Chain A
Amino acid sequence: MLSRTADSLYWLSRYLERADYVARILGVAIRLSHLPGAGAGGANEWRSALISAGCSDAFDKIYSEANAETVMEFLAFSDKNPSSIKQCLGTARFNARSIRTALTSTMWETINGAWLDLQAMDLNSLVKRERSLFLEWVKDVSLRFDGSAYRTMLRDEGFWFSRLGTYVERADNTARILDVKYHVLLPENATVGGGLDYEQWAAVLRAVNSLTAYHWVYRDNLKPWLIAELLILKPQMPRSLISCYQTLVESLDKLAESSGRQGPAQRKAREVALKLEQSKIEKIFDVGLHEFIETFLAENNALGSAIVEQYLI
């Protein structure tokens, strides 16, 4: 397969996954903003959404205040933010068009259809309810793309590169979403483990469709370390970091099979997977959850670079 084709498949999958993620953190922010005492902490929920999306600085160059209006605009619709939902879908479609023949017609129609729908929307005049619907629509597009790739693609290199993109991005996003809570500080007079703290954690779990899963796995009240364990260390949890890395190791092994050689990307993925397998949540909290996440994001980035260097250029 052409390196450029593999590259486009990889990035196309990353961008669709990212669009989903941005929709989800906006969902968290909307939920958090409805909680009593919202905005009373050191950083409000809208700021936290920006920080988790990794574009707080870029935002400040354009806007003076982070609120429902400005953050929604910047993260969802802005042409100035390369990771806004609109830009993600546009970039994904651009990549898709340049490698149409490597996509199945279902995948292409999902992306092209979404892009055509997006062109027809008047994004600047959406009212509140329509915004929620828009976010649901974005998640739906990402889901359909993921599903059509899974259902219709030949299990050859193209499929594995597309999986790599999806899972590198998903691991990144899961880690970031967990970090949202770190940035939303409790108001001074609220107690850790109190009602508000509880609701904030619940919002995080809901954003990744995991609240029910939590209850099934732990049959317990929401506890920060258990939530972190679920999203980091539980292989049963499909978007946990460890689960993402198992898929990454598997996909990279398939690629190694077809080329007949293992390389830095395979080694890096196995190394991270092994670390996760040997981790205990208590240890992670000893170091600090936020610090753990920062280290993980850096490792995940390093894997991304290794994939690019080994296959895509």
Chain B
Amino acid sequence: MAFDEMTTSDGGVRAPYAGIAQWLKDTPAETLKTRGKEAELLYRRGGITFAVYGDLQGEERIIPHDIVPRVLARKEWNTLAKGLEQRVRTLNRYLADIYGPGECLKAGIIPEDLVWQNPAFRPEMVGVDVPHGIYVHIAGVDVVRIDPDTFYVLEDNARTPSGVSYMLHSRDVSLRLVPELMDTHRVAPIENYPDQLLASLRSVAPRRQSSEPTVALLTPGQFNSAYYEHSFLADKMGVELVEGRDLFVRDEVVYMRTTQGPQRVDVVYRRIDDDFIDPLSFRPDSTLGVPGLFAAYKAGNVTLANAVGTGAADDKVIYSYMPDLTKFYFGEEPILKNVQTWRCRRPDELRYVLDHLSELVVKEVHGSGGYGMLVGPHATAAQIEDFRARLNANPSNYIAQPTLSLSTCPTFVESGIAPRHVDLRPFVLSGSDGIRIVPGGLTRVALREGSLVVNSSQGGGTKDTWVIE
């Protein structure tokens, strides 16, 4: 039995959920149903949508929103937040290390080939003086819970993590649809996230920029699956939402084309992958990027957030070394645990994985979005055999983990209120003036009974996440 965050095994109610449990008892199912429909309408009218790649019909979809909030007690959150801060410090330090002195390699903490042969490693970044030494300005750390005291980090997202707009909208929806619940709980506010993001981004502007730095959000455009989020964040921060063609570089300085002529840009919050940001330095066929952007960056005239090459820190093999790296760099015990990980690149571990495929979760080292993974206990024999073949063909492309029993939260589904598995993606901001985390994060819920896959592209939904006093 999975750990349920509301109901204990003897049928009692955990303290943080007392109010929710009472409310669920008092509210007729019809009312819940109506509110669920209203929530969908709010998203649809507002155009709060995402696109699923490879789906021609449903160009724009909405993510189902579950109106029952997920609750964390302040004390639980405080521990979690400390762990997140430590985790992100480690990510940043690791990147500064591999693109700099390489201490973790010299000390033998990380095998060299994992760094040099990592497809996300950018040799162009070696020796680049990154403004304020910060690489990962915005991190999304996926966390799961298996019992009252244990949080595991499931995945680090250090490239261009998304989902924060859903976190903010979930709160909006709660305010509109369950105001009576919000009245009886002291929920820590999250609405200041855009302000915090802007403050973080401004804090990392190139040093000689003295006056108000200009920040712009660089999007691949409206066909990107997260386009809605890009426009939402730009709007809330009050910065321009730019596409590649809106920017140009002259004498290693970045400008935007405006109706009043060129305007200098100091910080680019880019939501375009490394490969596409600059056709002169990376993929030459990219039409999304800005020619010369990387040269301007190397010249120290613009800050890119996140830095180029951060993907070298968040793949699923490097993940398995994070606890060691925390100890190595800071001499600290990791606050958040890592899920045990078999690295299939090692023959003995591969053998174990092949022998236990039906119990394990197998993931691609560079996969994301819930694509290309095998959940052993839920897989058919054919799927398992398919993965066996893939593992044998290219073992170093995979890792495996035990199937965790993710915690469940009460969720409104067809049959009424039922427990469904959830994870949590808090967003961690790193600026030159410190780390900022708004309390909570994006809770994703697997709406299908028994399913452990929470990704929106795979039938996941979202919940509002409450940190209560």
In the assembled complex, A112 has its CB within 8 A of some CB on chain B: yes
* B222 A98 Cβ-Cβ under 8 A: yes
Q: A4 vs B248: C-alpha distance in the bound complex, in angstroms?
A: 13
A112 and B47 within 8 A (CB): yes
Contact for A2 among B45, B222, B256, CB less than 8 A? B256
A101-B231, A101-B234, A101-B235 given; A1·B258 CB < 8 A: yes
A1 to B261, CA, bound (A): 9
Answer whether residue B335 sits at the interface, using C-beta atoms and an 8 A cutoff.
no
B246: contacting residue among A2, A97, A105, CB under 8 A: A2
**Which chain A residues border B240 with CB–CB below 8 Å?**
2, 5
Is A113 a contact partner of B259 (Cβ separation < 8 A)? no
User: Min CB distance, B169 to chain A, in Å?
Assistant: 14
* Chain B residues with CB below 8 A from A112, complex form: 45, 47
Name which residue of chain A comes closest to B216, CB basis: A2
In the bound complex, CA of A101 to CA of B47 (Å): 12
Query: In the complex the two chains form, what is the Cα distance from A312 to B257 in whole Å?
Result: 9
A84-111 near B? 1/0 per residue, CB < 8 Å? 0000000000100111110001001100
B256 proximity list for chain A (CB < 8 A): 2
Q: How long is the Cα–Cα vector from A259 to B257 in the complex, in angstroms? A: 14
A157 touching B47 by the CB < 8 A rule?
Answer: no
Q: Contact mask B52-86 → A, CB, 8 Å, 1/0?
A: 00000000000000000000000000000000000
User: Contact: A1 with B222, CB < 8 Å?
Assistant: no
Question: Is the pair B231, A2 in contact by a Cβ cutoff of 8 Å?
Answer: no
**A62 to B245 CA separation, bound complex (whole angstroms):** 36
A100 neighbours in B (Cβ, 8 Å)? 47, 231, 235
- Do B222 and A3 have beta carbons less than 8 Å apart? no
From the candidates A3, A94, A98, A109, name the one contacting B258 in the complex (CB within 8 A). Answer: A3
Kindly state the separation between the CA atoms of A2 and B46 in the bound complex, as whole angstroms. Answer: 24
Q: In the assembly, what is the distance between CA of A52 and CA of B257, in Å?
A: 36
> Can you name the residue of chain B whose Cβ is closest to the Cβ of A111?
B47
B357 at the interface (CB under 8 A from A): no
Q: In the docked arrangement, what's the CA distance between A4 and B246, Å?
A: 7
| A97 contact from B47, B234, B257, Cβ within 8 A | B47
Interface residue total, chain B, C-beta cutoff 8 A: 21
| B interface SS class | mixed
A159 to chain B, nearest CB (A): 13
Given known A-B contacts A97-B222, A100-B235, A101-B234, A6 and B259 have beta carbons under 8 A apart? yes
Provide the residues of chain A in CB contact with B243, threshold 8 Å.
Answer: 4
- Give the CA-CA distance A311 to B241 in the complex, in Å: 18
Residues of A within 8 A of B34 (CB): none
B242 within 8 A of A: yes
* Interface majority SS (helix, strand, loop, mixed), chain A: helix
B395 at interface (Cβ–Cβ under 8 A)? no
Q: Which A111-158 residues have a C-beta within 8 angstroms of B?
A: 112-113, 116, 157
Inter-chain CA distance A120–B234, complex, in Å, is: 31
Does chain B have a CB within 8 A of A189?
A: no
> Is A258 an interface position by the 8 A CB rule?
yes
Q: Which residue of A lies closest to B257 (CB)?
A: A3
Known contacts A98-B221, A98-B222, A100-B47; A259/B231 CB under 8 A: no
The answer on a CB contact under 8 Å between B258 and A101 is no
B45→A109 contact, CB < 8 A: yes
A3 in contact with B235 given A100-B47, A113-B45 (CB within 8 Å): no
Total number of A-B contacts with CB less than 8 angstroms? 50
Which residue from A101, A109, A311 sits with its C-beta under 8 Å from B259?
Answer: A311
Q: Give Cα A311 to B246, complex, Å.
A: 13
For the complex, what is the distance from the CA of A202 to the CA of B272, rounded to whole Å? 57
Which residues of chain B are near A259, meaning CB under 8 Å? 259-260
Given the known interface contacts A98-B222, A101-B241, the answer about A2 and B47 at a Cβ–Cβ threshold of 8 Å is no
* Smallest CB gap from B221: residue in A: A98
A1 touches which of B47, B227, B259 (Cβ 8 Å): B259
Enumerate chain B residues within 8 angstroms of A1, measured Cβ to Cβ: 258-260
Least CB distance, B230 to chain A, in whole angstroms:
10
B245–A258 CB distance below 8 A: no
C-alpha spacing A78/B258, complex, angstroms: 35
Say whether B259 contacts A108, CB under 8 Å: no
B242 contacts across to A, CB distance below 8 A: 2
Tell me the bound Cα distance from A161 to B242 in angstroms.
18
Residues of the B chain whose Cβ atoms lie less than 8 Å from the Cβ of A161: 259
Shortest beta-carbon distance from A225 to chain B in Å: 41
**Most B Cβ at <10 Å: residue of A6, A98, A112, A157:** A98
CB neighbours (8 Å) of B45 from chain A are: 109, 112-113
Q: Which residue of B lies closest to A101 (CB)?
A: B235
CB of B258, distance to nearest CB on chain A (Å): 6
Residues of B with C-beta under 8 A to A3:
246, 257-259
For B235, B240, B242, the residue with the greatest tally of chain A CB atoms inside 10 Å of its CB is B240
A2 touches B235 (CB 8 A): no
Docked CA distance A2–B245 (Å): 11
Are B260 and A258 in touch, CB under 8 angstroms? yes
Binary interface profile of A, 159-173, with partner B (CB < 8 Å = 1, else 0)?
Answer: 001000000000000
Bound complex: CA A5 to CA B241 (Å) = 9
On chain B, the residues within 8 Å of A157 by CB distance are 259
The docked-state distance in angstroms from the alpha carbon of A207 to that of B165 is 45
Given the complex, which residues of B lie within 8 Å of A4, measured CB to CB?
A: 243, 245-246, 257
The CA of A255 and the CA of B47, in the complex, are separated in Å by 31
Q: Distance (Å) between the CB of B397 and the closest chain A CB?
A: 37
Q: B241 — nearest CB in chain A belongs to which residue?
A: A101
Interface positions, chain B 232-254, Cβ under 8 Å from A, are 234-235, 240-243, 245-246
Q: How far is the CA of A259 from the CA of B240 in the complex (A)?
A: 18
Bound CA–CA A4/B222 (angstroms): 13
Cα of A112 to Cα of B221 in the assembled complex, Å? 18
CB A35 to nearest CB in B, in angstroms, measures: 43
Task: Give the Cβ gap from A259 to chain B, nearest Cβ, in Å.
Answer: 5
Q: Which residue of A lies closest to B47 (CB)?
A: A112
Tell me the complex Cα distance, A99–B240, Å: 10
Per-position contact with B for A278-313: 1 when CB-CB < 8 Å, else 0? 000000000000000000000000000000000110
A2-B257 in contact given A97-B47, A100-B235, A109-B45 (Cβ < 8 Å)? yes
Contacts of B46 in A (CB 8 A): 105, 109
Within the complex, the shortest CB–CB distance from B356 to chain A, in Å, comes to 47
B47: which A residues are within 8 A, CB to CB?
97, 100, 108, 112
Tell me which residues across on chain B come within 8 A of A116, comparing CB atoms: 44
Q: Identify 20 new A-B residue pairs, CB closer than 8 A, beyond the known A6-B259, A161-B259, A259-B260.
A: A2-B240, A2-B246, A2-B257, A3-B246, A3-B258, A4-B243, A4-B245, A4-B257, A94-B222, A97-B227, A98-B222, A100-B47, A100-B231, A101-B231, A101-B234, A101-B241, A105-B46, A108-B47, A258-B260, A311-B259
6 contacts between A and B (CB under 8 A): A101-B231, A101-B235, A101-B241, A105-B46, A108-B47, A259-B260
Q: B residues touching A (Cβ–Cβ < 8 Å)?
A: 44-47, 221-222, 227, 231, 234-235, 240-243, 245-246, 256-260
Would you list the 8 A-B pairs with minimal beta carbon distance, nearest first? A101-B235, A3-B257, A311-B259, A100-B231, A259-B260, A98-B222, A6-B259, A1-B259
